[in-house]
Structure 1
Amino acid sequence: MSRAVCPGSFDPVTHGHLDIVSRASKLFDEVVVAVGVNASKNRLFTAEERMEMLREACAGFGNVRVAGFTGLLTDFCSEQGIAAIVKGLRAVSDFDYELQMAQMNASLAPIETVFVPTAPEYSFLASSLVKEVAALGGDVSGLVPPAVLERLLARLAERAAGQA
């Protein structure tokens, strides 16, 4: 069975992320969406919240599961029997960074990285931009799943109320 991982922080998950997961699910028998759990990083959502949102957003894919991981992605892949990392590329600048990461990962474990170009309609999309635009009152409803939008707006409102 061919198994791949789509790693990320997914803070929050966007339609761009889901596009890559959907396309990976057609290429591999199983896809693990792996949420990086790093307590030292300041995230809008906890790791468990991000995994919950991903489980809901990926529920329609029969061969996709969500898991959290700490430490090296290559260790997670070895433990899970995963042979490929799937990464979405938005621009040439992504490729420069991701190629270096792919080569480092290959030096650590027998794992291949598969690059999937982002669909043009999502080429500008980044979780950080979604959070920033939403925090400033912009409409991000077309960029994230409805359940994610609801949680995003609620969390931003909580944060704004806490600062008032």
Structure 2
Amino acid sequence: MTKKAIYPGTFDPLTNGHLDLLSRAAKIFDRVVLAIAESPSKCLLFNLDERVALANQATASLPNITVIGFSDLMTNFVRKQRGNIIIRGMRTMMDIEYETQLAQINRHLMPELETIFMMPAKSVSYISSTLVKEIALHGGDVEHFLPTKIAQEVRARLHP
């Protein structure tokens, strides 16, 4: 049986912290779906198609990663993908509280769903998409936090 996991999130933008978790998950699971949520309630830098395209470029060297955009309830998306495992990243105590609550809600909606929490490598554990956008907005260098192409796109979007 193929082991498949789904790593959902907004990924606006996809950071080196996300890539750390993805590359490690790719070693554990036969297939990993990077599920990019449309998230219309958030103030996003990139639309869904742009985030999917950027993520496809950033994950091209990981052959067992598939990038898919979605606008459904996450548990409905997981069912459509015939999955029962999701991966969630945890960096801080605040993440632990939020992610625990989210895992419990998801399990209520889909009792067979398992959530696997992964901590990013120490070297990228402090990176968040929100902070990276804030740094870039004020002209700071984001090259260390993002894949090169994504860093270029963030700069171009914020400083045309």
With the shorter chain as reference, the TM-score category is over 0.9
Deviations 1:77-132 (A, max 9, x none): 01111110101110121111101111111111111000011111112111011011
8 Å CA contact 2:3, 2:31 repeated in 1: yes
Distance 1:16 1:38 in 2: 20
The aligned counterpart of 2:27 is: 26
Distance 2:43 2:104 in 1: 28
8 Å CA contact 1:8, 1:36 repeated in 2: yes
The aligned counterpart of 2:50 is: 49
Gaps of 5+ in 1: 159-164
2:94 equivalent to 1:93: yes
With normalisation by structure 1, the TM-score equals: 0.93
Gaps of 5+ in 2: none
State how many pairs are aligned.
158
Amino acid at match of 2:27: K
Amino acid at match of 1:82: G
Distance 1:121 1:40 in 2: 31
The aligned counterpart of 2:39 is: 38
With normalisation by structure 2, the TM-score equals: 0.95
Identity of aligned residues (%): 42
Pairwise CA distance, 1:13: 0.7
Task: Indicate the SS of the match to 2:12.
Answer: coil
Pairwise CA distance, 1:61: 0.6
Distance 1:4 1:135 in 2: 34
Distance 2:73 2:158 in 1: 31
The aligned counterpart of 1:161 is: none
8 Å CA contact 2:10, 2:39 repeated in 1: no
The aligned counterpart of 1:76 is: 77
- Displaced runs of 4+ in structure 1, greater than 4 A? none
Distance 1:59 1:51 in 2: 12
Pairwise CA distance, 1:38: 2.8
Q: RMSD of the TM alignment (CA)?
A: 1.0
